[in-house]
Amino acid sequence: MLIRTLSTLECTKILTANRVGRLACAKDGQPYIVPLYYAHADNHLYAFSMLGKKIDWMRTNPLVSVEVDERGAGRGWKSVIVNGRYEELPDRIGHKVQCDHAWSVLSKHADWWEPGALKPDTPSDTEHLPHVFFRISIAEVSGREAVES
């Protein structure tokens, strides 16, 4: 097995080609990781979510990481890590253009809204609250690939 570092362009292609990653955030020294359905454009990862723990935590500490991976042939794989900053895109004056852009980027993909709009099995006080469009501004990207030799 050979491990090699991916170029920035190769990392960007993987981010663009995929739709699901793992979002890591932290609050009070405690890490938290969840699946994230996203769309990649203009050095950002765009997403849509119900209010909940991840939004609360990212509002408190906007520094986040996202991991995206692909399986390769045999035991091969590719993995990309994004370090960035959470930016909420509220639907109000001053942010309307950014929110509309997020909608445009996400809506290019079928059923883009489902993961962020599905309600949990158990009722919650947050069900009546609005959904949140947000983006992760990419500060740094790195990746590796494993190929069988």
Q: Write down the pTM of the prediction.
A: 0.80
Q: Superfamily assignment of 2-143 in CATH?
A: Electron Transport, Fmn-binding Protein; Chain A (2.30.110.10)
What the block records as the tokens of 101 is 């852009």
- CA dihedral (146, 24, 11, 110) positive or negative: positive
**Residue 60 clears pLDDT 90, i.e. is over it:** yes
**Residue 62 clears pLDDT 90, i.e. is over it:** yes
> SS3 string of 97-109?
HHHHHHHHHHCCC
Domain residue extents for the chain: 2-143
Q: Who wins on pLDDT, 43 or 111?
A: 43
